[in-house]
Structure 1
Amino acid sequence: MADHSSRPRRSPTRLAVRRERRIIKLRFVRRWGAARIAAHLRLARSTVEAVLRRYRMPLLRHLDQATGLPVRRTPPRRYEHDAPGDLIHVDIKKLGRIPEGGGHRKLGRTIGNRHNKKHRPGYAYLHHAVDDHSRLAYSEILTDERKETAAQFWDRATAFFQGHGITVRRVMTDNGSCYRSKVFAESLGVEIKHKKTRPYRPQTNGKVERFNRTLASEWAYAEFYSSETARTATYDDWLHHYNHHRAHSGIGGLTPIERLHVHNLPGSYS
């Protein structure tokens, strides 16, 4: 038997087609929002919004204000450097520490805020370095974002990438004070080119921003942790999983380590 539509044959409360067309005309001609159209026609705003959705009307911000026609938006440009080490994305993620007993994301705000007031856990600073081509990531949980801390982190990150056969040629950071410092420039040396993101455009450093979102959803807030110590203890294992076992859709379903194998780079792959 063929499936039948669940839509009712009649919709007594639905607006007449003439009024629906009036709503659409006001949208195109006047470029009005749902609230203003509703006030003008003496209709409920929810009714106008339902009509606009049913006719698949684009949002006002997607319309050309001169013509009322949808603006063809340029799809975001995605770039990827050709080889490991061509560009390393470096960033710091400020992450609220979990108070003893657990935080509000798992226990609710009442209990979580009570734990926060009692223990005042503060913040952890996750320093990241992510290879643009392979997505291989080196990361540490540190106590601050001072210039000395950032420089020392980069020294260890460099050793990590060298251990995987990667020669770093460029580094991209935001415009944070630690990255503008002389001590960080000295840690990069003269052979590594330092690129900075455009101000207020974190998407310029998109690979590490994506890593931050993955980290938040799959590690930082994925489970209940009774304390910051308990969460921190799992980080190295999670990072190993990310590099060695987690398939990445942006690189054809490969893991970062597998992407390195494509280039036959030496190193230890466990």
Structure 2
Amino acid sequence: MDGGRPIAHVAAEAGISRRCLAKWYARWRAHGENGLLDHSSRPATSPARTAEDIADLVEALRRQTKYGPARLAAELQRLHGVTVAPATVHRVLVRRGLNRLRDLDPPTGEQLREVIRYEHDRVGDMIHIDIKKLGRIPIGGGWRMHGIGTDAARASKRLGPGTGKVGYTYLHTAIDDHSRLAYTEALEDEKAVTAAAFWHRAVAFFAAHDIVPIQRVAPPAW
């Protein structure tokens, strides 16, 4: 090495192989400090890479049909006489960011924009309130289980409370915008007195988790 010490001794002290040290030493001699920076292992050229015109066909078919790699390969052969392996189609989809259907708008096939969630800076800055109306499930299951108009479906309704109508339940939910801590109750209705009582219990719940004071409240978007 530059100090006159054998490269094998320096490599042993550094805990690396002689070959590895020789490689980095040669880089340093050739390029200085820049030679010690990490470099991409990607080749400068890729002669076997799928041609861009074929990749364009893959992308167009993917956006139009939402097919997977195997069906896209078959369609390329049927429509354009182009033979491409499904694995190659998959690589093209990954390269162009089309390999996940959830990233494509179903009606148009256009790329969906990245969802950036807005978030308040501190707990208690904003509490979101929501009420969701849900149909109760009859004892033994409803028409989805027994079929519409069947004797079993009618019997399941007669087993319900009161007049036999199963009715609804109302999920009252309060969520802190910053922490996403949520408090939910299943209540009998969504009347003002019910909602107000729920809010008082929600405030106590948040206070027990050190979310105080509550600055603002976003009511349900009715």
TM-score between both structures, scaled by the size of structure 2 = 0.45
TM-score between both structures, scaled by the size of structure 1 = 0.38
Give the number of the structure whose alpha-carbon radius of gyration is greater.
2
